[in-house]
Amino acid sequence: MTRLDMFEAVRPFAPSRKFSAQVVRLLDQVADAFGLPADGAPMKPSPAAIKLLHEFEGLSKVRPDGMIEAYPDPGPTGLPWTIGWGSTGPGVTKGTVWTREQADARFEADVAKFAAGVAEALKGAPTTQSQFDALVSFAYNVGLANLKGSTLLKKHRAGDHAGAAREFGKWVFAKGKRLNGLVRRRAAEAALYAS
């Protein structure tokens, strides 16, 4: 959903089907709060996406001094090393320590990167804010390459949203092992996607 979609949805309730400048400002504030993009702008994750990511990524290994330590991935191999809000990649190895500010800044950058990747992967397919948020959480966890090659994305782009929602549940394995944390995460993502 875009701002235009939102404005058109509430227009029938406006006197003479027109909005005053004050109402436009208020509707823009609502759109901002829910992460609705300006028309033509790429979608951005809403607070629901951030909440879901924070819930499942967690801020792990916070020391008593407030510093944050890297930890091995909970999957069977222990790789990749992870820090903060689920951040991985170059510079994140055993012994890496960050401040809370570093973890938060990296999280914001990572979310922006995954959101841009999801927006590009959608190729203009009609997408609600909830669907976008769920796909960002999914991609943050499994990677953009896995999202781009997934049946989940193919079904979404084809408009088979019920089928796409069912696909989340197939992504609960790490190296062939079913992980309860992934089961819970995929159920939450599927529920958000379908909402």
Q: Which residues contact 152 (CB under 8 A, 6 or more apart)?
A: 138, 164, 167, 168, 170, 171
d(CA 147, CA 189): 13
The CATH 1.10.530.40 domain(s) of the chain lie at 43-56+100-194
Q: Strand 81-82 to strand 173-174: parallel, antiparallel, or no bridges (unpaired)?
A: unpaired
Run of H or E residues at 178: strand 177-178
- At residue 25, the pLDDT reads 82
Query: Where is pLDDT greater, at 27 or 97?
Result: 97
Residues taking part in catalysis = 57
Higher-pLDDT residue of 139 and 12 is 139
**CATH 3.40.50.1100 given to domain 43-56+100-194:** no
**Is the predicted pLDDT of residue 113 greater than 90, yes or no?**
yes
- For 114-120, what is the mean pLDDT? 95
Alpha helical stretches, state H, 74-128: 100-122
**Three-state DSSP state, 158:** coil
Which helix or strand (DSSP H or E) is residue 130 part of?
A: helix 129-142
Q: Left, alpha or beta for 107 (phi > 0: left; psi -120 to 50: alpha)?
A: alpha
What is the rounded distance in angstroms from the CA atom of residue 118 to the CA atom of residue 35? 15
List the structure tokens of 13: 């309730």
The model's confidence at residue 45, banded by pLDDT at 50, 70 and 90, is: very high
3-state helix, strand, coil in the chain (%, to 5): 55, 10, 35
Report the mean per-residue pLDDT for the chain.
90
d(Cα 115, Cα 126) in Å, to the nearest integer? 16
Output the pLDDT for position 47. 94
Q: What is the pLDDT of residues 52-78, one digit of tens each?
A: 999 999 998 999 999 999 999 877 677
Q: Give the tokens for residue 29.
A: 């504030």
> Given pLDDT bands bounded at 50, 70 and 90, which one contains residue 18?
confident
> What is the reported pLDDT for 40?
64
Does the structure show a pLDDT above 90 at 20? no
Q: What is the four-CA torsion angle of 68, 111, 135, 140, rounded to 10 degrees? A: -40
What percentage of residues in the chain have a pLDDT greater than 90? 66
Q: Token pair of 141, please?
A: 């966890």
The pLDDT value recorded for residue 32 is 73
Residues 76-109 have pLDDT tens digits of 677 889 999 999 988 899 999 999 999 999 999 9
pLDDT score for 30: 84
Lowest mean pLDDT among 20-24, 33-37, 123-127, 133-137: 33-37
| pLDDT score, position 74 | 75
**What is the band of 133 on the pLDDT scale with cuts at 50, 70, 90?**
very high
